[in-house]
Amino acid sequence: MSTAHTYSRDVFSAHAESLSKLSARMVRGSEVLELGPASGYFTRILKEALQCKVDAIEIDANMAQKAKPYCRDLHVADLDTLDWNALWPARRYDAIIAADVLEHLRFPERALQALLRRLKPEGKLLISLPNIAYAGMIFGLLEDDFRYRAEGLLDHTHLRFFTRTTLEEVLSKAGWGVTWRGEVGKDLYEAEFHTRLETWPPAVRDFVCNHPNRRAYQLLCECVPQVRLKTGMPTVDAAAAGPPQFAARLMWAAQPEAISFERGATVFGEIGSDAQVLQWKLPEAATYVRIRLADRPGYMHLHKLVVQTGVGTAQDIALAQCELSPDAMQSDGALLFSNDEPWLALPTGQYPAGTTIAVHCGWPMSGDYEKAGRALNALRAAQDRHVQLLSSDIAQATARADTFEKNMLAHEAIISERDTQLVERARHVAHLETLITERERIIIERDGQLSAVNSRASDAEQALNALRTESEISANALQAHLHALEAQNAHLKTLRGWVRTKLSS
């Protein structure tokens, strides 16, 4: 939260600002924790008018000094970084007030969760903050204008922006349930955006302005912890809810063929009010004037139609003098609209610039509306019962999810251990595969060597067989030669004996 600007408010202003509405929901004599009291303009009301005991947390030391006289205790700290457990740990409060605070925080969810533990059993949380869905903001965006300012919706210290829906989503996620909704409205011409509605196409203007949340400049709510939330929708501030409305539009031209929706002005009437005036002032002269009486089917009492072209020249126009669209049926001074474009054309004539046209009428809250209201209440009650059942189912599912998560963590630990074992086993298998591959390589190498040895052995055997055959042949030849030599030797011996015989004789 920036401290560059000093905030000050008139709590009980005629405009019923957020703080006056929040103070109306306070109980006299309460123990209160106020977040971001600034200079203490609301703290003083809590202490002096409501007799409350106020503890406060403020980020700006200078403003804290101004608020301190109205506080029992005041702590200077940033709510985004505050150690909630260390600050007044034993204190519990009847009410906690976060008026224009959450939008200044980076982490409002953290603060909201911490605040759950700071309430008494019947305590409550009161919140106000800017509505980023305000109609002036939307028109500003459409006009390409997103400009930060010293104060307002685009205060330069705002870090978070909320609509009614997103605020309640954040509260729900942090454990809070809404028991009351309120708002502070602001006329578009009083807001900082200076929107000129007349420059916008009527369809766009009607769409933006008719949405109920677009009129709220600030959003208010009262919350309790969800565990204490009772059956039923939150109560709604009457000013915040507002009556249902219908849009009526005046259009003008020189002749009927030239009439167009773009050339006109819209006013809003209340559904449920039987005495009201829809009034326009012509910005330029025209001869043909048409009024689109409503933007929806319905039932309208037309009490009087008055045209005033100058001072003291008011003239009542009878319905019989006017032209009605085919979908607007007349019956006993009332009109029944069967679709969303019923119109009435004034008698053709001269209508100078500045002419005032007033439709005195009523739009009763019909039996259909009552029936729809009862049906809506029944639907809301059924929705609340369904929400309770869903909350119970969610709690049971959360418990089952917690158990499942614990089981999953244990299972994941087992899986992690198994994965480690598998990695080790894979490493061992890879080592074995390397050994097997090496062994296969050696076997293949040895098989090659053995094949070579076998081949050489076969060649040697063949050579040996040839040598054996040759040796046998040589031996046989030698044997024959020896036989021949023996024969010759025997012959010689015989011849030697004959010679010796001859010699001796």
Give the three-class secondary structure for 352: coil
The sign of the dihedral angle between the CA atoms of 316, 321, 322, 328 is positive
Residues 6+ apart with CB under 8 A from 120: 31, 92, 93, 94
Task: Say what angle helices 135-142 and 202-210 make with each other, to 10 degrees.
Answer: 150
- The reported pLDDT for the residue numbered 190 is 75
Condensed to tens digits (0 to 9), the pLDDT of residues 21-48 reads: 899 899 999 999 999 999 999 999 999 9
Assess contact for 38 and 1: CB atoms under 8 A: no
* Mean pLDDT, the chain, integer: 86
For residue 242, what are the CA distances in angstroms to 268, 270, 373, 464? 12, 9, 15, 126
DSSP 50: T
- The reported pLDDT for the residue numbered 373 is 45
More confident position, 70 or 150: 70
Q: Which residues of 381-395 are buried (b: 16+ CB within 10 A; e: fewer)?
A: eeeeeeeeeeeeeee
Instruction: Report the C-alpha gap between 100 and 18 in whole angstroms.
Output: 9
Q: What is the CA radius of gyration of the chain?
A: 53
User: Is the pLDDT assigned to residue 55 strictly greater than 90?
Assistant: yes
- Phi and psi for 354 in degrees, rounded to 5? 95, -5
Q: Are strands 334-337 and 298-308 parallel, antiparallel or unpaired?
A: antiparallel
Structural tokens at position 69: 């006289």
- The reported pLDDT for the residue numbered 235 is 61
User: Which segment of 22-31, 186-195, 286-295, 379-388 scores lowest on mean pLDDT?
Assistant: 379-388
The Cβ-side half-sphere exposure at 484, using a 13 Å CA radius, reads: 6
User: Is the pLDDT assigned to residue 14 strictly greater than 80?
Assistant: no
Condensed to tens digits (0 to 9), the pLDDT of residues 271-314 reads: 888 899 999 999 999 999 999 998 778 889 999 999 998 766 88
- CA-nearest of 285, 250, 255 to 269 is 250
Condensed to tens digits (0 to 9), the pLDDT of residues 63-80 reads: 999 999 999 999 999 999
C-alpha 338: how far from its chain's center? 39
Q: Are strands 53-58 and 73-76 parallel, antiparallel or unpaired?
A: parallel
Most confident of 186-195, 234-243, 342-351: 342-351
Q: Tell me whether residue 56 is exposed, middle or buried, using C-beta atoms within 10 angstroms of its C-beta: 0 to 12, 13 to 18, 19 or more.
A: buried
Assess contact for 250 and 346: CB atoms under 8 A: no
Assess contact for 131 and 183: CB atoms under 8 A: yes
Q: Which residues of 70-107 are buried (b: 16+ CB within 10 A; e: fewer)?
A: bbeebeeeebeebebeebeeeeebbbbbbbbbbbbbee
User: Is the pLDDT assigned to residue 10 strictly greater than 50?
Assistant: no
User: Which pLDDT band holds residue 16 (cuts at 50, 70, 90)?
Assistant: very low
Model-level pTM?
Answer: 0.54
Instruction: Please state the rounded mean pLDDT for residues 223-229.
Output: 92
Q: Which residues of 131-170 are buried (b: 16+ CB within 10 A; e: fewer)?
A: bbbbbbbbbbeeeeeeeeeeebbbbeebebbbebeebbeb
